[in-house]
Amino acid sequence: MSGAKVPVLIGVGEVRGSGTGTEPRSLVVEAARRALKGLDLPDGVDGISMTNTASWRHDDLASLLAQDLGVRPRHVFNAPVGGHWPTRLLDAAAQRIATGQSTVEVVAGCEAQASTTRAMKSGVDPVPDWGWSAAPGGPPAFDPDQLGSPAMQAAGLIAPSRVYPLYEAGLRNRRGLTVEQADRESAALYSALSTVAATNPVAWLPNPIDPATVLTVTDGNRMVCEPYRLSMNAMPFVDQAAALVLTDLDTARSLGVHDDRIVHIWGGAGAEDDPDVLTRPGFDRSRALAAALDATLAASGITTADLDVIDVYSCFPVVPKLVAEHLALPEGAVPSVTGGHSSFGGPLNSYSVHSLAAVYRRLSTGGTDDLALVHANGGYLTYQHCTVLSRNPGPRGFVGDPEPLRIAGTETPVAPMAGTTLTVEAATVEYGRSGAPQQAFLVARTESGARVAAQTEHGDAESAVALSVYSPGAPREVVGRRVRVDVRGSGAVAVAEL
């Protein structure tokens, strides 16, 4: 990019609330002030980009942040739902800086789900009782179409806790691992992430836990959807915010920013899979994840071996497992300097703003680490965006592309038919708070190869047990097993092993 400016990060700020009533808006204002501390910006801020806030509704939070900071940006953007947006917003802001459209930009995100949950349970109205914003206020409403296609909704596949375990099952089967082996791998990874979180000053649960504790099912670590215990699920009930400040290298130096506060943004790439998971060719890999990683490395002219730091989205174990496999990371590698969604906290759409902040701190401390890749994920392994950061300028200049590659679906699912014999492609069983299996979710193939997706009736323990990897007896694989389904009047199915 001839004549392009060099985009850099020059400041980050993070806040961990107490869960006792601080509004998301207040959290992100404090995070942004910390990121801007010590910077004398005579021309103010040209752009503010906000990730989606799911814990409280605000009218145009990016403009509200600008108002609270006393700046008048030309560009404001409030992203829709998606955990991939932090890295995509970073690349978009860096692109505007590289092309001279902006000089200083802020990328930020915030959540206060711990406080909103506390309010709901205690009967508090955050507007009059805590002074929260009332325009419009309240928890965001979701259109059912945002949760999944009609076929996904009919099959009950409308929650991340139900869909990601399907990918765990598919990956485990493709790799030839037993259920016990895959579980031990997940437990070791999430134990290691907890150790990283223990060093992060804004982690929500900064207490290391050993693999046995991650793996052991207890009242406090219940099975959610097989094979994921609560400790393997993202922890969304947090109050956290983060902000990043970007500019160009010449401006950074004119502002007197010391070299050890400058981290170069090389840029990256993204990809989007079909939002309907039932149209994708399989549940054992992510085409979008592979495409985003490959495009990012190729654009930067680097390989995995060149990376000193890798920070990966970790809402569920299958995501870092897929990244580790695709990048051929060494066994036991811990792809995070943030701490993971279970221990650091999972502030929904803004987690990777914290990842970018953690990587910034890692690269700007004067150690030996020089080159980092940050991966972010949204939807049901649907939206992927990665970016590369370094203490040194990119040899190819800024190579980021905020616009994703889009990948079409290839399958056409069909409705289940009574008395059909199916081969399990992926399955999971959801447990109640009592600790008993209560419902199963199935993706399978007919004898002709057509894909079928269905859910059992809530409370049909017999069908749930037929698809469980844990009962009866020792853990066993269900992927590849043949089952018989019968359709109930509700549209749900009953399942029996053959």
pLDDT digits (tens, 9 = 90+) for 380-436: 999 999 999 999 999 999 999 999 999 999 999 999 998 999 999 999 999 999 999
pLDDT at 3: 74
Residue 308 has pLDDT above 90, yes or no: yes
- Residue after which a domain boundary falls, among 361, 381, 406: 406
Residue 468 domain boundaries: 420-497
Taking the whole predicted model, whether its pTM rises above 0.85 is answered as yes
Q: Are residues 321 and 454 in the same domain?
A: no
Domain membership of residue 220 (yes or no) is no
Q: Are residues 50 and 103 in the same domain?
A: yes
Residue 344 corresponds to which amino acid?
F
34-81 pLDDT, tens digit per residue, is 999 999 998 999 999 999 999 999 989 999 999 999 999 999 999 999
Q: Are residues 314 and 449 in the same domain?
A: no
Residue 1 has pLDDT above 50, yes or no: no
> Exposure of 480 by Cβ count < 10 A (0-12 exposed, 13-18 middle, 19+ buried)?
exposed
pLDDT at 137: 82
Domain membership of residue 366 (yes or no) is yes
Q: How is 388-444 classified by DSSP, letter by letter? A: EEESS--TT------SPEE-------B---TTEEEEEEEEEEEE-TTSSEEEEEEEE
Q: Are residues 12 and 102 in the same domain?
A: yes
For the segment 467-492, the average pLDDT, to the nearest whole number, is: 92
Residue 463 is part of a domain; what is its CATH number? 2.40.50.840
Domain membership of residue 327 (yes or no) is yes
Q: In terms of Cα–Cα distance, which of 158, 182, 176, 84 is closest to 378? A: 84
Q: Are residues 101 and 28 in the same domain?
A: yes
- Residue after which a domain boundary falls, among 352, 377, 406: 406
Q: Are residues 402 and 424 in the same domain?
A: no
- Of the pLDDT bands very low, low, confident and very high (cuts 50, 70, 90), residue 147 is confident
Contact (CB, 8 A) for 242 and 201? no
Q: Are residues 305 and 382 in the same domain?
A: yes
Contact (CB, 8 A) for 94 and 7? yes
pLDDT at 138: 84
Residue 251 is part of a domain; what is its CATH number? 3.40.47.10
The structural domain count of the chain equals 2
pLDDT at 197: 98
